[in-house]
């Protein structure tokens, strides 16, 4: 074997080993979290942990229901706000906007995706919290007296505040993916629809959306996957009240990522405290992995069908 071929084989083996190492990191993280969670799973019933809302580590009570519901409130609000905004924005940029406008707006969207989460958190505290406290809740109390959760005691630090901030954070990712999916729809399909007398909106609605809906769903799933892991911004604006079960979008919420970031490292001398927090991290990791697998699986299927 000559020197050139030997160097090529060595380089190939090194790159293969590095690739295996990177892939194995995911399995090592999963195994590490599961192993560290075993003590609490050995002593407590998983059903009791997931469906109990009592969190008193000093008394051996580690109920995660309040944190899970808080996570679902924030994620649900973010989804309701971000999905239509992302779809309509991506549709405008892909189907209606002039090329020059698109060239100006796309870097701004990419910039929003790269802003640090703590900046979004500060923005939420400065702008969104006062808006919810001073305008949104009084409006609902006055215009909708039958609104079941209206009250004068809200501080603005609530699930809806975290949901609004989170929606703004995940929009850039969803807009980028949805825009790419829409642009991949064959131009001939648009021409055929327009040639039959359909308007541009009818073409988008019945041709473009029909062909790209699996990719749009994948973009939404990937956006939600990122939303599940956001911590700092939500921690700053959601209220994060321990042993409080959020019953409405205007109640304080304590999502799982905020719990992990805010409590890990404290009171580790309490038995099972460490295992309970790491169990929450393990649950969050599994959910994020499942969302990513489904989302990227749909995108890969679309890419293969178009090739």
pLDDT of residue 144: 63
Q: Are 251 and 223 in contact (CB under 8 A)?
A: no
CB 183 within 8 A of CB 123: no
Q: What is the pLDDT of residues 80-95, one digit of tens each?
A: 999 999 999 999 988 8
Q: What is the pLDDT of residues 229-264, one digit of tens each?
A: 777 888 888 877 776 777 777 888 888 888 888 777
Specify whether the CB–CB gap between 259 and 277 falls below 8 A: yes
The packing angle between helices 209-229 and 65-91, to 10°, is: 140
Going from N- to C-terminal start, the domains of the chain cover: 67-306
The CATH class, in words, for 67-306 is: mainly alpha
- 150 falls in which pLDDT band (50, 70, 90)? very low
**pTM of this prediction exceeds 0.95:** no
Cα separation, 17 vs 6, in Å, equals: 17
* Spatial contact of 230 and 130, defined as CB atoms under 8 Å apart: no
Tens of pLDDT, residue by residue over 4-56, are 787 888 888 899 999 999 888 888 888 988 888 888 888 888 888 888 878 88
Higher-confidence residue: 154 or 211?
Answer: 211
Task: State the sign of the Cα–Cα–Cα–Cα dihedral 222, 224, 225, 231.
Answer: positive
3-class DSSP assignment, residue 230: coil
For 283, residues 6+ apart whose C-beta sits below 8 A from its C-beta are 64, 256
């Amino acid at each position: 074997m000559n020197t050139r071929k030997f160097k090529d084989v060595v380089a190939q083996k090194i790159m293969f080993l590095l690739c295996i190492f990177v892939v194995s990191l995911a399995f090592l993280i999963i195994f590490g979290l599961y192993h560290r969670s075993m003590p609490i799973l050995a002593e407590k019933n998983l059903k009791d942990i997931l469906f109990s809302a009592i969190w008193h580590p000093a008394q051996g009570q580690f109920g995660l229901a309040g944190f899970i519901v808080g996570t679902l409130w924030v994620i649900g609000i973010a989804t309701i706000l971000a999905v239509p905004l992302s779809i309509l924005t991506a549709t405008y940029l892909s189907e209606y906007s002039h090329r020059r406008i698109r060239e100006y707006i796309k870097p701004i969207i990419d910039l929003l995706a790269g802003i640090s989460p703590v900046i979004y958190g500060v923005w939420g505290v400065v702008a969104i919290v006062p808006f919810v406290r001073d305008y949104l809740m009084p409006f609902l109390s006055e215009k909708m007296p039958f609104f079941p959760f209206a009250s004068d005691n809200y501080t603005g630090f609530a699930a809806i505040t975290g949901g609004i901030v989170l929606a703004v954070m995940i929009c850039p990712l969803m807009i980028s993916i949805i825009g790419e999916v829409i642009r991949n729809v064959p131009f001939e399909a648009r021409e055929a629809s327009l040639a039959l007398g359909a308007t541009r909106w009818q073409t988008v609605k019945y041709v473009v959306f029909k062909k790209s809906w699996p990719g749009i769903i994948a973009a939404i799933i990937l956006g939600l996957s990122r939303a599940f892991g956001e911590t700092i911004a939500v921690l700053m604006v959601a209220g994060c009240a321990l042993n409080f079960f959020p019953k409405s979008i205007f109640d304080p919420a304590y999502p799982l990522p905020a719990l992990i970031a805010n409590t890990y490292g404290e009171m580790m001398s309490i038995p099972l405290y460490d295992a309970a927090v790491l169990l929450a991290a393990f649950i969050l990791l599994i959910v994020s992995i499942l969302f990513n697998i489904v989302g990227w699986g749909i995108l890969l299927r679309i890419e293969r069908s178009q090739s």
